[in-house]
Amino acid sequence: MTIAENLQHIQTKLPKTVTLVAVSKTKPVNDLKQAYEVGQRIFGENKIQEMAEKREEMPKDIQWHMIGHVQSNKVKYMAPFVSLIHGVDSLKLLQEINKQATKNNRIIDCLLQLHIAEEETKFGLDEQELNELISSSEFAAMQNIQILGLMGMATFTDNQKQVKKEFTHLKSIFDTLKAKNPVHCNLQTISMGMSGDYQLAIECGSTMVRIGSSIFGGR
Ligand SMILES: *Cc1c(COP(=O)(O)O)cnc(C)c1O
């Protein structure tokens, strides 16, 4: 199947309330253009330099999402244009995003990444760290960031029960946080679900799926 066919196939399976981020990391600009031609406007990349380079070559009405782990010293390269940063998992990183957003005279939308998987290697905050961050005076002082929601990655396993448990956990953390109505937050987005598990993620309350290989093929 072509990229256009893959995209259209996935679109038919997504409820209207779920936003599709086409994860184009490692893929050539030509592949992104094929997705663009059939209407895709949100692309996800996991390396800042690669995202900035592709942006130069692509139409200007694209929303670029940073979905990977972000190094603080590289935030400045995406601060002028990034539309949503999914993987924010420390106060220090958020402070750097706020600083660079201020320099660019804009507010940068972010998701806080929660650690919901069993694997040790995946980045993210636990619920207590999330609450500490949100209620800190440093967080309150930031004026150029907005938290739109949470992001999480499930354990890489065939065990659907396990994955479902982790997605449900993220959804419940989101609901609890939303009920507190914290400062600098406009909570509406739960970014969870990839090629292998997005249908389950949607059943568990995802509002944004990040899909790469099912659109563009394996990497
Ligand atoms: C690569 C990546 C994806 C997409 O993974 P696929 O399995 O190819 O759909 C989603 N989220 C993050 C954070 C990624 O790094």
pLDDT of residue 122: 64
Residue whose Cα lies nearest atom 15 of ligand 1: it is 68
User: Ligand 1: residues within 6 Å at CB?
Assistant: 23, 25, 46, 67-68, 153, 194-196, 210-214
User: What pLDDT tens digit does each residue of the chain (219 aa) get?
Assistant: 999 999 999 999 999 999 999 999 999 999 999 999 999 999 999 999 999 999 999 999 999 999 999 999 999 999 999 999 999 999 999 999 999 999 999 999 999 999 999 887 668 999 999 999 999 999 999 999 999 999 999 999 999 999 999 999 999 999 999 999 999 999 999 999 999 999 999 999 999 999 999 999 999
The alpha carbon dihedral of 7, 10, 12, 16 has a sign of negative
Segment (H or E) for 137? helix 137-141
Residue 106 gets which letter from DSSP? S
pLDDT of residue 118: 87
Distance from Cα 141 to the centre of ligand 1, integer Å: 33
Distance from Cα 105 to the centre of ligand 1, integer Å: 30
The CATH code belonging to domain 3-216 is 3.20.20.10
pLDDT of residue 79: 98
pLDDT digits (tens, 9 = 90+) for 84-105: 999 999 999 999 999 999 999 9
Locate the ligand 1 atom nearest the alpha carbon of residue 214 and give its number: 9
pLDDT of residue 163: 97
Distance from Cα 24 to the centre of ligand 1, integer Å: 9
Residue whose Cα lies nearest atom 11 of ligand 1: it is 210
Distance from Cα 8 to the centre of ligand 1, integer Å: 19
Residue whose Cα lies nearest atom 12 of ligand 1: it is 67
3-state secondary structure of 164: helix
Q: Given ligand 1 and candidates 6, 19, 23, 27, which is best to mutate, with the most ligand atoms within 8 Å of its CB?
A: 23
Across the strands, what pairs with 43? Answer: 22, 64
Distance from Cα 210 to the centre of ligand 1, integer Å: 6
Distance from Cα 57 to the centre of ligand 1, integer Å: 22
pLDDT digits (tens, 9 = 90+) for 157-198: 999 999 999 999 999 999 999 999 999 999 999 999 999 999
Cα→Cα distances 64→17, 32, 101, 124, Å: 19, 12, 15, 21
Taking Cα atoms as reference points, which of 63, 26, 23, 39 lies closest to residue 148? 63
